[in-house]
Amino acid sequence: LELAVSLHLRHPRRLPAPALRQMCRERAEKVLRVGSLLDHDLVAANFGALEQREASDLLVAAMGQKDLQAETRAPRALLVRLGLELGALWGNASLRADMMRAERHARWNQYFVVLGIPCEASRFSEAGYLLSLLPAVVRAARGDLGFALHFGRDSEVPQQEILVQWIESHLVLPSTESRSSQGLHMWLENEESYRLAVPPALERLSPEAVEELLLQRILPLVSPYDYRRIEFVLESARAHPKAARWREALRILEKYSRKVAPSQAELREITSWSAQLQQQQQCSRSAASLHVQKAQEMAMRRLPWHQVALREDPLTDLRAELCDLQSLKHLLLLCGPLGISCDDMYVAFLRESYRKAPACGGDVADPHSSIDSYSDSDGARLSRSHAFDSVLSEIRDYRKAADVALWLEERLPLSLEKLVIARRRLELALHLAQSGGEQDSSLQSAVPELRHRVALLESQWAVAKAGLGIFGSLLAEQGVRALVECLYFYLPAMLTVGDPCGQAWGSLGHGAEDPALVRSVKKLGTEGLHDLVDDVCLRAGVSPKQLRQQLVEQWLTDPFWTPSWGLKVEAFALAGRPPQHGSQAGDQRQKAQAARDSASSQLFAQDGRSFPRSSPQLPLSLGTRATGQMFVQEPAIAESLDRVVFVAQPRHPGNAPGVLKEAREDIRTRCIHLLRVAFGKEKQVAYDAKCRALAVLFRLAPPHEIARAYRNPVEELQEIWKLYFYMDAFQQLGAPQDFKRFYQCSKDGLARALWRSHHADPRMVQVIAALCLDFGICDGRFWASILQRLRDLPLHGFLRDVLVALHERLALKLPHDEELVSTLAQLLRAPGLLAWLPTLPYLLRRSPFVAAFDVVGMARQLLASMAESLTPTQLVQLVAATFGETAALELQGGASKKNSEWQSIFGMLAVEIAMCDPSITRMSDFISEDIAGKHPDLILAAVPLCPPGEPRTALFEGILRHRLAASARVRLPGALFLEFLKHAVTSLNIEELLEVSLESSEFDSAKRLLTLFSEAHGMPSADEMVAEAAAGLPLLKSHGHHRDEEQAAAYLRDILGDLYSARSGKALRSFASWLSSAGG
């Protein structure tokens, strides 16, 4: 080829030029394809015959066929070097520049392969492609700024852009390596590498560029929870006017530990930040996911700095953290750096505390529930009410404090917090009114209203705290008087011992009371209720003394009076309760009515025996007129009297010297007030109200206090009370009397005159009988007529009470009258008066005419009726007639005694009646024939009722005859059993007692029995006799008559022999062994 070229140059006309150029072109293309064996000289010789442009195109085309893959990388480099040489040879700057660019592309392609940066070498020449690889190059060059700048120079990227990317890469993207995958030292070095890598880059930029880059471009992309990077950015841009305040806020946030988990909106912002980061920094999806995970972990402990420091209203993101006083105190430090008003922070705390308060049902929070507490900086626990009060006191803008206090008060339920806020609101109003001048005259006029509001809330809270929340609405709607009336109307019955707690709600027809209300009332107690009324009244400026006196007068005048707004309380109390079935409610009302009816005439038990309730020496008031019963007090009247006694209780002990007279409520003040009511004018106070006033007086005060207030003997007042009672009775019966004439007239003559004109009127007959009792009219025949008339009406219950009172007061003063004795005998034997049975023994014991009665016949009649086979229905009827409807209902419901026990009770009643017979002989015959002979099951129960002597001896014989000795040991008291033992020993009948003691291995009892037997009959110790019997030695039988000790010894040998031969032989041997081991 060289030769051909030389020839051509020497002899140009010998070879055509086109043919030569074509030949050289073809030869050059072949040479360029040889790869690593390329001959530069040969290529240059071939290119010498070509035009420069054609040669350049040929070289470029050859290079285009060699991509930047590994296997073609060396031939391409040879071509590039050839192009550089040709460009220098030809002086072609353009070719040389293209070759140099190709060389740089090849070199960076090799770097990218080594660094693992994905790229497309064919696109290196595209505009902006290499610039798009800049973030990856910067990340790959971690710590080597020169490498990044070298890439910039080779890729013709401006240096400032390289620096910006460098700084962004180090500050925006944290390390994606987990701490667990590296050692602690390596992890910290990677995490903090930006502190060494970024400052050299910043030094190459102007201060203005640094500030713009860091604060406007980089800071928004830094994680808002990466306080270290944010601090570095702010420190690097310290020249900015806000940088110092931002750094101070950052230091405050670094010391704060987050209290509330991030909201969903905040978590969405983290996701959005990650997406933006992935798009701008071209990080992988896995790296972006790791950034999100790290940010979410830090968000559980830190607040987002960007939202707190850069937003116009930082409180938007801080509000959720204002959950306790400790957080508030720490976050208040942000007010200065961020330009937040402290008052706004306090207001936000109060509003947020309300929003986070536990939901309260209804209008009243439970005063006994645990109150949310807040921790102050010293760790002390402050209730939420104290927290509200302390925060409100810190607000310097009184109007703002008043506005937020009003906002809270309107929304909070009745609670201690609401009360504290209302008090603080009143103080704020006073401050504003005093400092505002004339323009705040409206505030000055609102202060009294606020005082009233605070007093109302204090009273409502006191009522709710006592567990009486159902009365709270009355206080707000009707006032203090309505509240006090309802409290004293409903609650005293619940404080009565043994009260079923349903009487106060009885008017509703529901037999159910609120158990929680009852427990609250019981816990409050009598003094607590009075104290509550005092507090409520004094707060409202009402005198509790005057209000109580007015209520006392109201209920004394009209015992049926009910507060008109009480229905609202009852409806509230029953709200939410399931209605009772009609029959169930009816049964409960029937039981309650039966209990009240029986309470007026029921017997009470004392020491195991039944006695009638003594008739009161002084009447209370007249009872139900519609039923014909003049002296059966209506339950409503009794409840009203109990209520008045409760309200009128003294509030101050003694004479209360330290209490003003206007407020004094000692016992003397109460007595004087009741006496004024009792001695009021008849036109103003009726006689029944006077009677009730005196009844309350005598229940409330002891006699000496009454005498001290009355300044006259108490007996005189009792006499006046009695006169008032009959004045009311005559007025109710349409026969009004003049008080003075009634006081001075002869009661005997008045009673006879009324009898002649009104003996057909059942109610007048009752009044006449009571008149004769109370004024001691001792006319036997007149009494016989009255008793017969009461029996014929019939008024059995009243008749029984009259008989009891007659025997208590006048029986011993009445002269003997055959007609009276006959009438009493007929009444006591009347078969229709079963309800009198428990009263009968008491009447017989006190009657001076008992010798004329067939007492034993009455007892036998009762036993005969008991001996009949009573059906369950008949037994229930008998129990109802004798012991009242309550006992019958219990028996019918299965909650009472068994039928046999009720029959035993009637049998004991028959024995008690028989023991009232003055004849010992008749008593003994009754015991022997009727009890011991026909009803052995009643013997043991009858022993304590029988007097010593023949009747009790007959019962002892019955015990021995029916072999009840074992039961006697258990059921008889110790003294009576000892008496029975002596009788058994004396009558030589101890076999059953001895056998029972041996069979039960009670050897001490057997020893005492034998010792008692030996001492009673003058015998020596029976131990040898027991030993002989236990050994099976023959014992002589007794024959004929012996002396007492011989007869007793023979009897003892006989029973010991019988015991040995019977099934008790083993027990007898054990007893003999026990005697020998015990030393005889």
Alpha helices in 839-884 (DSSP H): 840-846, 855-867, 872-883
Within 13 A of 659's CA, how many CA atoms are on the CB side? Answer: 15
Distances (CA, A) of 67 to 61, 248, 437, 694: 11, 57, 92, 127
- The full length of the chain comes to 1080
Give the H/E segment covering residue 381.
strand 381-383
Band (84; pLDDT cuts 50, 70, 90): low
Q: Which residues touch 228 (CB under 8 Å, ≥6 apart)?
A: 192
Residue 306's pLDDT band (cuts 50, 70, 90) = confident
Q: Are strands 609-611 and 604-606 parallel, antiparallel or unpaired?
A: antiparallel
Phi, psi for residue 56 in degrees, rounded to 5: -65, -45
DSSP reduced 3-state for 836: helix
Q: What is the mean pLDDT of residues 299-321?
A: 87
Question: What is residue 556's predicted lDDT score, i.e. its pLDDT?
Answer: 93
Q: Check residue 196 and give its pLDDT.
A: 80
Q: Percentage of the chain surpassing pLDDT 90?
A: 13
Q: Which amino acid is at 607?
A: D
Helix, strand, coil: what percent of the chain each, to 5?
A: 70, 0, 30
Instruction: Name the residue among 922, 956, 963 with its Cα closest to residue 942.
Output: 956
Cis geometry, peptide bond prior to residue 544 (ω within 30 degrees of 0): no
Residue 594, CB half-sphere, CA atoms under 13 Å: how many?
16
The closest alpha carbon to 303, from 288, 289, 287, 315, belongs to: 315
How far apart are the C-alpha atoms of 223 and 229, rounded to whole Å? 8
Query: 767 versus 989: which is more confidently predicted?
Result: 767
Continuous segment of H or E residues that includes residue 69: none
DSSP annotation of 468 reads -
β-pairing verdict for 373-375 and 604-606: unpaired
Higher-pLDDT residue of 939, 360: 939
Answer whether residue 336 shows pLDDT above 70.
Answer: yes
Find the mean pLDDT for residues 572-588.
41
Structure tokens at 877: 């009827």
Q: Does the pTM exceed 0.75?
A: no
- Beta pairing class for 381-383 and 604-606: unpaired
pLDDT-derived band at 835 (thresholds 50, 70, 90) equals: low
- pLDDT average, residue stretch 821-836: 74
Q: Which of 1-15, 465-479, 630-644 has the lowest mean pLDDT?
A: 1-15
CB crowding 749-766: b at 16 or more within 10 Å, else e: ebbbebbeebeebbbbbb
* C-alpha neighbours within 13 Å on the C-beta side of residue 65: 12
Q: Which of the two residues, 674 and 65, has the higher pLDDT score?
A: 674
Per residue in 1003-1034, pLDDT (tens digit) is: 888 888 888 888 888 887 777 777 777 766 55
pLDDT at 131: 66
Q: Can you say whether the dihedral through the CA atoms of 874, 875, 876, 880 is positive or negative?
A: positive
Q: What is the mean pLDDT of residues 902-910?
A: 78
| 662: helix, strand or coil | coil
What local confidence, expressed as pLDDT, does residue 783 receive? 92
At residue 703, does pLDDT exceed 80? yes
Secondary structure (DSSP) of 332-367: GGGHHHHT--HHHHHHHHHHHHHHTSPP--SSB--T
Neighbours of 363 (CB within 10 A): 13
pLDDT the model gives residue 674: 94
Most confident of 21-30, 435-444, 449-458: 449-458
Confidence check: pLDDT of 548 > 90 = yes
Tell me the C-alpha distance between 959 and 992, whole Å. Answer: 11
Lowest mean pLDDT among 364-373, 697-706, 1004-1013: 364-373
What's the rounded Cα separation, in Å, for the pair 250 and 308? 9
The per-residue pLDDT for range 938-990, each reduced to its tens digit, is 888 888 888 888 888 888 888 888 888 888 888 888 888 888 888 888 888 88
- Grade residue 633 by pLDDT with cuts at 50, 70 and 90: confident
Q: What is the rounded end-to-end Cα distance, in angstroms, of the chain?
A: 160
